């Protein structure tokens, strides 16, 4: 039942992102939704964007940190150690409160 509610929430959030691409609220909310759904790879660029667009709040950093750590473990399990280490370095910077300007752009992994 809850999974159905998640999918109901996704479409309006995507429309909001299209209408207000520079507003950090949309990426933050959709990123959080993806973390709840364990869609970490999709959550990471959105949460990075949310931080850069003014949503530098503890819960956004916590979501991004969780997504980065889980994705790093997935990559490491596939033998992609360098990529995993890069995400873990970013995770530590997020935990330490690095300024949003130092958070990687959405396209970088």
- Count Cα neighbours of 41 within 13 Å in the Cβ-side half-sphere: 5
2-102 maps to which CATH number? 1.25.40.10
Secondary structure (DSSP) of 78-100: TT-HHHHHHHHHHHHHHHTT--G
pLDDT digits (tens, 9 = 90+) for 27-73: 888 999 999 999 999 999 999 988 888 767 888 999 999 999 999 99
Helix axes 58-77, 40-52, angle to 10 degrees: 140
Strands (E) in the chain, as ranges, are none
What CA–CA distance (Å, rounded) separates 13 from 35?
14
pLDDT digits (tens, 9 = 90+) for 76-96: 999 999 999 999 999 999 998
Asked if 68 and 45 count as a contact pair (C-beta separation under 8 A), the reply is no
């Amino acid at each position: 039942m809850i999974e159905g509610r998640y999918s109901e929430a996704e479409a309006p959030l995507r429309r909001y992102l299209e209408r207000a691409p520079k507003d950090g609220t949309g990426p933050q909310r959709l990123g959080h939704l993806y973390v709840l759904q364990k869609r970490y790879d999709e959550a990471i660029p959105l949460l990075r964007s949310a931080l850069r667009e003014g949503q530098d709040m503890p819960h956004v950093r916590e979501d991004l940190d969780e997504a980065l750590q889980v994705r790093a473990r997935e990559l490491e399990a596939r033998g992609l150690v360098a990529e995993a280490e890069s995400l873990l370095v970013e995770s530590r910077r997020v935990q330490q409160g690095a300024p949003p300007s130092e958070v990687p752009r959405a396209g970088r992994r």
